């Protein structure tokens, strides 16, 4: 192992606007706290390790800070084909000096007897074993055995010190309480941190998946549909140019004029948006669509937008595949529920027979309504036409 410079990944980490402290995996001797902190601060890892050793003689301050960072700082992800660097004798010597230095400093500062100091050592060893088992996070028998051993040593040390502390006066009681808190924290805090981290990661993954699905739906509804029309109109350069310009304006507005679209959305209504979508589909495919609306209109905002977009996709599908000249659209807002029905009396299809690589129905209609908290029901049969029902409960 080289202690002259932090590994390359931390150089990239420091260039980020908000670098996050992570424990270094390949350079760790015990847990990677010192090497991670060195990489985060941009200093030589040897000086950080010396700091923890020196701080160990200040009443055991060094190990307490080290364990606190160990429990609260995530370990960096393991990269493929990455092992753990070999450590030299100096690193292990520093760990041993820090360990015994902390015990000696605790004995001198508290006046505790040799038995309590020994049990403190047993507790610290158990804490190290348990925390390393948490880091491995594997379901192997060996890891469960290591975790069990660590828990036994920690709790055994806590109980032994508590029993001895009862007969050692007020000082012994104080030490017993502090050691009990430390032992419980070592076993509980990492579990809480892991659960919180897993929850955050799940939320982030869901947000990313939803965003990707929404982008895919948007592209399918606009770009891919326009490309298909361009292929059909390849013999007409003027029509191809018109379609391309219109799609460019729509895509540019969606990508770069989000604030303007949001402002428009706050003043528009769902029924008006449906009429606009129907007009767009009429212009693109030369069909007749006359939406019928019933009930009170509602604002066209982020909550109701998925219904309009899913209805537009249903209109596009009917215009492309039903083989009819007229499409019926009925929308209603009654009893706090917004519902839109798109019907045609065309060719129809079997939903189970839709190829897996076709995303219009699955993503732009059903998936979009699911993400919005609504529902989509498609009723169709070959030769009997198709009805798409979209429903979304609106909050009062």
End-to-end CA distance of the chain: 64
- The pLDDT tens digits for 44-74 are 888 888 888 888 887 777 788 888 888 777 7
CA distance 273 to 266: 12
Residue 244 within any structural domain of the chain: no
Asked if residue 5 has pLDDT above 50, the reply is no
Kindly indicate the confidence band of residue 112, based on its pLDDT and cuts at 50, 70 and 90. Answer: low
Based on the domain organization, do 156 and 278 belong to the same domain? no
DSSP structural state of residue 344:
E
- The CATH number of the domain holding residue 291 is 3.30.565.10
- The residue ranking higher by pLDDT, 117 or 314, is 314
CA distance 364 to 174: 64
Residues 197 and 52 in one domain: yes
In this structure, the answer to whether residues 199 and 270 fall within a common structural domain is no
192 half-sphere exposure, CB direction, 13 A CA radius: 8
Asked whether residue 186 falls in the same domain as residue 279, the answer is no
Backbone phi, then psi, for 143, in 5-degree steps?
Answer: -70, -40
Establish if 258 belongs to a structural domain: no
- In this structure, the answer to whether residues 68 and 155 fall within a common structural domain is yes
In the predicted structure, residue 4 carries a pLDDT above the cut 50? no
Position 387 in a domain: yes
> Residue with structure tokens 């190990």?
63
Q: Is residue 250 part of a domain?
A: no
Among 203, 218, 234, the domain boundary falls at: 203
Q: Are residues 299 and 181 in the same domain?
A: no
Q: pLDDT higher for 76 or 113?
A: 76
Q: Which of 171, 203, 235 is the last residue of a domain?
A: 203
Instruction: Give the lowest-confidence range in 83-92, 201-210, 302-311, 323-332.
Output: 83-92
Quick check: 160 pLDDT over 60? Answer: yes
Q: How confident is the model at residue 3 (pLDDT cuts 50, 70, 90)?
A: very low
* Domain coverage including residue 384: 266-393
State yes or no: pLDDT of 252 exceeds 70. no
- Same domain as 331, residue 196: no
Q: Which residue has the higher pLDDT, 303 or 239?
A: 303
Q: Is residue 227 part of a domain?
A: no
Q: Return the minimum-mean-pLDDT range out of 182-196, 317-331, 356-370.
A: 182-196
Tokens encoding 52: 């923890």
What mean pLDDT value characterizes the chain? Answer: 77
Asked, for residue 229, whether it belongs to a domain, the answer is no
User: Does 282 lie in the same domain as 138?
Assistant: no
Q: How many domains does the chain have?
A: 2
Please return the burial class of 79, using the count of CB atoms within 10 Å of its CB with bins 0-12, 13-18 and 19+: exposed
Shared-domain flag, residues 181 and 270: no
- Higher pLDDT, residue 190 or 12: 190
Taking alpha carbons only, the member of 124, 41, 26 closest to residue 75 is 26
What does each C-alpha distance from 262 to 223, 253, 255, 309, 326 come to in angstroms? Answer: 21, 11, 12, 15, 32
User: What is the crossing angle of helices 61-72 and 89-110, to 10°?
Assistant: 120
Percent of residues, the chain, with pLDDT higher than 70? 76
Tokens of 140: 């192997």
* 210 within some domain: no
Return the DSSP state at 388. E
Q: Do β-strands 326-334 and 288-289 pair in parallel, antiparallel, or remain unpaired? A: parallel
Grade residue 253 by pLDDT with cuts at 50, 70 and 90.
low
Q: Residue 262 above 60 pLDDT? A: no
Assign 164 a pLDDT band (cuts: 50, 70, 90): low
Looking at the predicted structure, is the pLDDT value of residue 87 above 70? no
> What digits encode the pLDDT tens for the residues 343-356?
999 988 877 777 76
- Of 229, 221, 331, the residue nearest 273 (C-alpha): 331
3-state secondary structure of 180: helix
Measured distance CA(295)–CA(270) in Å, rounded: 12
Comparison of pLDDT for 208 and 105, the residue scoring more: 208
- How confident is residue 378, by pLDDT bands cut at 50, 70 and 90? very high
């Amino acid at each position: 192992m080289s202690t002259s410079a932090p590994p390359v990944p931390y150089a990239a980490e420091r260039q980020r606007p908000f670098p996050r402290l992570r424990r270094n995996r390949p350079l760790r001797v015990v847990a990677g706290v010192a090497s991670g902190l060195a990489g985060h601060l941009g200093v030589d890892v040897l000086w950080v390790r010396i700091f923890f050793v020196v701080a160990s003689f200040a009443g055991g301050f060094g190990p307490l800070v080290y364990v606190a960072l160990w429990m609260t700082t995530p370990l960096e992800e393991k990269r493929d084909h990455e092992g753990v660097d070999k450590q030299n004798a100096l690193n292990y010597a520093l760990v041993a000096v820090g360990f015994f230095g902390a015990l000696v400093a605790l004995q001198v500062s508290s006046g505790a007897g040799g038995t309590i100091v020994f049990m403190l050592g047993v507790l610290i060893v158990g804490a190290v074993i348990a925390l390393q088992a948490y880091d491995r996070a594997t379901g192997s028998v060996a890891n469960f055995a290591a975790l069990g051993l660590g828990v036994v040593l920690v709790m055994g040390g806590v109980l032994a010190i508590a029993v001895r502390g009862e007969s050692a006066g007020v000082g012994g009681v104080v030490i017993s309480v502090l050691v009990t808190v430390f032992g419980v924290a070592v076993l509980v805090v990492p579990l809480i941190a892991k659960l919180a981290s897993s929850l955050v990661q799940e939320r982030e993954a869901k947000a990313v998946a939803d965003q990707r699905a929404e982008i895919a739906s948007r592209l399918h509804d606009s770009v891919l549909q326009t490309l298909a029309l361009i292929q059909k109109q390849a013999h007409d350069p003027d029509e191809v140019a018109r379609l391309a310009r219109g799609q460019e304006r729509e895509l540019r507005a969606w990508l770069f004029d989000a604030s303007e679209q949001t402002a428009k959305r706050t003043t528009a209504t769902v029924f008006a948006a449906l009429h606009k979508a129907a007009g767009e589909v009429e212009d693109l495919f030369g069909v007749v669509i006359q939406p019928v609306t019933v009930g009170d209109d509602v604002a066209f905002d982020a909550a109701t937008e998925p219904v309009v977009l899913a209805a537009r996709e249903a209109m596009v599908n009917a215009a492309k595949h039903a083989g009819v000249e007229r499409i019926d659209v009925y929308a209603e807002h009654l009893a706090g529920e917004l519902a839109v029905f798109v019907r045609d009396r065309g060719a129809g299809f079997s939903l189970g027979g839709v190829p897996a690589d076709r995303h219009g129905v699955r993503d732009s209609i059903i998936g979009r309504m699911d993400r919005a908290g609504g529902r989509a029901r498609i009723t169709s049969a070959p030769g009997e036409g198709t009805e798409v029902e979209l429903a979304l409960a609106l909050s009062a």
